[in-house]
Structure 1
Amino acid sequence: MAMRPLSLPAALPALLPTILIAALAAPAPAVADLSPLEKAMIVMAADLSDAVAAPGRPESATALDASRKPAEVLGFLGLSSGMKAADLMTGGGYWAELMARVVGPQGHVTAFEPLQFYSDKTKAEWQALLARQKGITLQTHPLEAFTASPESFDFAIMNTTYHDLYTQSEKMKIPRMNPDDFVRTLYAAMKPGGVVGVIDHVASPGDTRAIAESLHRIDPAVVRADFERAGFVTEGESEVLRNAEDDHSKMVFDPAIRGKTDRFLLKFRKPQ
């Protein structure tokens, strides 16, 4: 199989273990001789690991770390200090809290939550989160009416929610939507050079709307086409969340696979 070309940020997770081991094993003068890039990569890895390991997050969040692999995901996508970041369809704010720790006081995180999903449980989770973590703004909106100011963000992430744009539900008051509207708005909201990471449950090719509604999965080729149609460039894809043992015909909430589905991680960039 041909190797997929990787941009420098996309290559970080593969290079970090070698660089970290070499740096830690080397005598002080050798460490001092590392290039600025190698030193920056070590600092980045340490920052991401520290953000995940630092105390303060509830057990309900830390219990998800093993399956979500946040340090590896954010490292692949290139989140760093000072960025203005967005957590799209944030849920209880798992990614928003970690991103706020990484971007620090010079950055900021805006968490977007559709009103259709903003339950009493979610409200309680957010009250607690905002009380313990600075640097986050929660913004609610109808799922079908996502809005954001132009060129606001350096970074954005969607975790297992993009497929929801292909669903509709009278019970949940979700109308039939055109995902292109969402992606075009997101494109406008990203700064030139800004990165969007999309994680979702892998589906086999087929009727995208029927699969999204019945299985809560989506074919990664559909996501890639949607983003490229809006003007984004596909910069890379990580295998860090893949699981070859997942049966793509199963609904993601099936007890046999829940929490360990085969997930793709795509990295898109808005051209400079």
Structure 2
Amino acid sequence: MRRPADLVAFSKVKPGDVVMDVWPGGGYWTRLFSPIVGPKGKVYAYVPAEIAGFKTDPVGIAKALAAEPGRGNVEAISDPIAQQPKPSAFNTFDVIWTFENYHDLHNSFMNGASVDGFNQAVFKLVKPGGYFVVVDHAAAPGAGLKNTEDLHRIDPATVKAEVEKAGFVLDAEATLLANPADDHTLKIFDPAIKGKTDRFMLRFKKPAQ
């Protein structure tokens, strides 16, 4: 269950916005954002370079998405997660969004890429007053990064601390995807919980300058 209308409202994406969909996968959210931002807006389907070699060919999928009819405002891009943007790209994005993948930035297949560096890069890219939205699978309170690899979960308190360290301020959190029946002990792909995990929604804001 994704509750797309509610999540789009939470994201604050609006017509004319420049948006980045981090780790777009099959392109579900990119496809939703594209008509919302419209012809005056832009959606970047961003594939971390660290996963570009996956057998699923995430870069190829993103490029195919951008080539779909009516997706003239979509562009596929791929760079290392901690690559610092050029000054010309500073303050470019209204919203940077990542859905159920932030925890993976900490995992071994990222080859030690800096998550702090990623958050710092995101902070530079977002416009003053713009947003960074993280939706992910919740780990047990206090678990920190313990279960990012085995269960594919992360403690929301850890995400808050990491993103705020980069300079963002927590603007809102929501329980639309919460599931109190999830005891946080199962891997998110387990049939008993798949699609029904306890998920948190955090919207961070870059302070106006």
TM-score (norm 1): 0.69
2:79 alignment counterpart:
141
The one-letter amino acid of 2:64's match is Q
1:158 alignment counterpart:
98
Structure 2: how far apart are the matches of 1:120 and 1:147? 27
Bigger RCO (CA 8 Å, 6+ sep): 2
The one-letter amino acid of 2:129's match is G
Is the CA contact (8 Å cut-off) linking 1:163 and 1:218 kept in structure 2? Answer: yes
Q: Secondary structure at the match of 1:211?
A: coil
- Please point out which of 63, 67, 73 is paired with 1:130: 67
Structure 2: how far apart are the matches of 1:270 and 1:212? 26
Alpha-carbon distance, 1:120 to partner: 4.3
Q: Secondary structure at the match of 2:190?
A: coil
Q: Whose helix fraction is larger, Structure 1's or Structure 2's?
A: 1
Length, aligned pairs only: 202
- Please point out which of 143, 155, 161 is paired with 1:219: 155
Aligned-residue identity in percent: 37
Q: Secondary structure at the match of 2:67?
A: helix
Structure 2: how far apart are the matches of 1:220 and 1:263? 9
The one-letter amino acid of 1:82's match is G
Q: Whose strand fraction is larger, Structure 1's or Structure 2's?
A: 2
2:16 alignment counterpart:
82
1:185 has 2:121 as partner: yes
The one-letter amino acid of 2:15's match is S
Structure 1: how far apart are the matches of 2:65 and 2:172? 35
Structure 2: how far apart are the matches of 1:175 and 1:116? 7
Q: Secondary structure at the match of 2:185?
A: coil
The one-letter amino acid of 2:113's match is M
Structure 1: how far apart are the matches of 2:119 and 2:15? 25
The one-letter amino acid of 1:189's match is L
Q: Secondary structure at the match of 1:98?
A: helix
The C-alpha deviation readout for 1:187-236, integer Å capped at 9, x for no partner, is 00000000111000000134534311111100001111111111111011
Change (3 A) 1:115 1:249: same
Structure 2: how far apart are the matches of 1:208 and 1:154? 29
The C-alpha deviation readout for 1:21-43, integer Å capped at 9, x for no partner, is xxxxxxxxxxxxxxxxxxxxxxx
Alpha-carbon distance, 1:178 to partner: 3.0
Query: Whose radius of gyration is greater, 1 or 2?
Result: 1
TM-score (norm 2): 0.89
Is the CA contact (8 Å cut-off) linking 2:143 and 2:155 kept in structure 1? Answer: no
Alpha-carbon distance, 1:121 to partner: 5.0
